[in-house]
Amino acid sequence: MKRASWLVFLVPFLAWAADPPHDWPTAGLTCTDCHTPHTAPGGTLTSTSGNANLCLSCHVIGGLANSHPFYLTDQAFPWPGLRSGQTPSGTSHRWDSSAVGHVKPGTTNTSTGTVVSGGTYTGRYPKTYTISITQSGDVGVARFSWSATSPPGGSGSNLLTGTNVALDEGITVTFKPGTTSPAFVAGDVFYLYVRPDLRNPTLTSVLQRLENGRLTCSACHDQHSQAAEPFDPQAPAYAGSGTGNGRHYQRTANNVAQICEDCHAARTVTLSSQGSHPVAVSVPTTSSFKQPTQLPLDKTTGKVRCLTCHRVHYAPANDGAVLRLTSHKALCQDCHVKSPSGSNPIHASTTNGVLWPGGQYGSTLPARPDASQRGACTQCHAVHGWPNNASPSTDYNWLLADAEENLCFTCHDGAPVAVNVRGDFLKTYKHPATSYSGRHQPNESASSAFGTSNRHAECTDCHNPHQAEGPSSGSAPPTISALLKGASGVAVTNGAAGTTPTYTFLTSAQYEYQVCFKCHSSWTSQPSGQTNLALKLNPNNPSYHPVEAVGKNTGINANAFVNGWSSSSLTYCSSCHGSDGTVRGVHGSANQYILKRPFSPSSAQRTMSSNDLCFLCHRYDTYANDGATTTVKGYSRFNPPTFTKGHTFHVGNRRYPCSACHETHGSTTRPHLIVTGRSPGLTNYTHSSNGGTCYPTCHGSKTYTVNY
């Protein structure tokens, strides 16, 4: 009777001993469900030894917290740094680790002794130590060896078990006795997982609840009180004791991710140049960003926080990344707008986008094997930075997996992308992407970016990695091809023949030649001896190759051309310039001037081949074969039958190359790309309505009449 009376008396007080749902009205819980007043196995009078074990006694299927179960296998093993053959896994932040990692015994171990990590990890890479018992015995007798995953690797052998035995990079291990002897059995293994950029908490309320220096559930959660403000924007308000169900029992205020930022302080940065994705920042209002619709900003200041991207428990993907969305691509694109609506960037393709194969030309970032993340931003970007192998104390710029062209070469070297672009950069003549570093800057938008000391041609000067689409035949000159989509360029406003145009920088070029003009025009400061091609290709000139507009020498017989060209065709710069192999693009060539076929600007006598550059478009037999039929020769205006010693005679018989009389890109003063001043060549030329008069260095002047 007295016991019942006491219970009736205590119930009102028990109801408010903890906020819901850890209370009597909600779950029927009293203090004695978790606590034992005498001979308690747990350190805080708890009925179960080990803080996490106590929590897991209810948070299991069939337990009182059946709707919020946790299992040891839920704890994150994130990529990279895992041992060979281990798959990233886990949907929850770990509750058994510390700034010096956590140790897991091998699944077949018979050792009863345990291994505990210590020291201060000074390494820059996440890695796993494999500790192998090589000689059975108790502590002080057993011996072990160790090895670590690369990067950076490391190993040791024949070491004696004991206290604070040094491994490397500040990590020590302590071997503790077991319940049997020998405590450590030869052949058994222990795995120590460590990660950089971690520290033990400095918040007193969190720090004092570590268990043997390791994180516990109660370090982050106050199982009795819902008073502390959570990050969750959907959490209800706290109205005092007995309220707040759904506020996640925060140990201290976490409304702006204070608990996260305490242990992960090294990653609490506001600029990517500081080595991690920025946090504590507002989403920029530029066109490259948008307000997220699936990811929460903090409800106090509206800024990006750790918990904007990460979900501490119950992450939807079992990959150890504990992200709020299964798709890395979708997560990034909830804030980042890197390609126009409706476009199909090849790097972002979930079908054809490549998986990072692992660094090969400098970077040590391991391969990303998860095919479900094909097309994700994280194939090229390391969100929390990756050490630059050339200077491991610093990370690669822009949170990239490697530097500049080495990043691109990692995939574009024949595998996983079949086209070997890197091979063209190893050829004699190439764009100088590999010759310098640090010149290109994102968002270049002014001529100062390409001045005399900074004129540059990195991969991203011609290709926009976020907007470039796959190879297609959908574009026609001069419209920019899908592979160059989104690249910046320079538009020209042309004046009279021979005058320098005015320039306008474009963040997204419309025509291919606009990309080329960033370096090959007087918009920048060109090195001595280089030609201002914007001046040469001006459609107001008397003659020019048809890059910006259809040429002026129209009406030429269609049979004078090959490969589908005609006098009304427009051409790309890359129609002549490009690989001497099968790779598309002006990357490199065995031919001078990065040309698809051999070409010499010399006017010296030589026998031209049908493989020479000019004959990619112009019919060799019509212009260079003196043995061709009169009909074939007659496709040219300057040839038999009207004029017996025209193109074929001069090129095929007398062995004067095209360049003896003709300019390549354009002429500011003469029609037909006629050039003077070369020897052999022309000293002068006059044009008439039905022909013209040549003044060559090899004989007297000749007046000719055209065929048509």
Tens of pLDDT, residues 35-88: 998 888 888 889 899 999 999 999 999 999 999 999 999 999 999 999 999 999
Residue 454 banded pLDDT, cuts 50, 70, 90: confident
The per-residue pLDDT for 324 is 99
Of 204, 231, 201, 350, whose CA–CA distance to 302 is shortest? 231
| Mean pLDDT over the full length of the chain | 95
* Residue 518 DSSP symbol: T
The per-residue pLDDT for 677 is 96
Q: Classify strands 143-148 and 155-160 as parallel, antiparallel or unpaired.
A: antiparallel
- The residue ranges of DSSP E strands in 458-608, in sequence order, are 489-493, 502-506, 543-544, 588-589
In the predicted structure, residue 123 carries a pLDDT above the cut 50: yes
The per-residue pLDDT for 4 is 43
Tens of pLDDT, residues 626-682: 999 999 999 999 999 999 999 999 999 999 999 999 999 999 999 999 999 999 999
631 Cβ partners below 8 Å, 6+ apart?
Answer: none
Phi/psi for 227 (5° steps) reads -70, -40
The share of the chain scoring above pLDDT 90, in percent, equals 91
DSSP string, 242-300: T--TTSTTBSS--TT-HHHHHHTGGG--SSGGGTS---SBPPP-STTB---SSSPPPTT
Token pair, residue 572, equals: 């790309």
Count the residues in the chain. Answer: 708
Question: pTM for the full model?
Answer: 0.92
The share of the chain scoring above pLDDT 70, in percent, equals 97
* Residue 516 DSSP symbol: H
Tens of pLDDT, residues 202-227: 999 999 999 999 999 999 999 999 99
The per-residue pLDDT for 180 is 97
In the predicted structure, residue 7 carries a pLDDT above the cut 80: no
447 or 104, greater pLDDT: 104
Tens of pLDDT, residues 243-288: 999 999 999 999 999 999 999 999 999 999 999 999 999 999 999 9
CA 567 to each of CA 117, 557, 651, 708: distance values in angstroms, whole numbers, following the listed order: 77, 8, 21, 14
Alpha helix stretches (DSSP H) within 144-194:
none
The per-residue pLDDT for 351 is 94
The per-residue pLDDT for 16 is 54
Residue 471 banded pLDDT, cuts 50, 70, 90: confident
d(CA 7, CA 21): 21
The per-residue pLDDT for 453 is 78
Q: Please give the torsion angle defined by the CA atoms of residues 273, 276, 279 and 282, in that order, rounded to the nearest 10 degrees.
A: 50
The per-residue pLDDT for 42 is 82
Cis check for the bond before 641: say yes or no (omega within 30 of 0).
Answer: yes
For residues 598-623, average pLDDT: 98
CA 298 to each of CA 255, 281, 287, 383, 622: distance values in angstroms, whole numbers, following the listed order: 7, 10, 22, 20, 73
Distance from first CA to last CA of the chain, Å, rounded?
126
- In one-letter notation, the amino acid at residue 82 is L
- Calculate Rg over the CA atoms of the chain: 36
Please tell me the number of Cα atoms within 13 Å of 23 on its side-chain side: 22
The per-residue pLDDT for 473 is 65
Tens of pLDDT, residues 491-531: 999 999 999 999 999 999 999 999 999 999 999 999 999 99
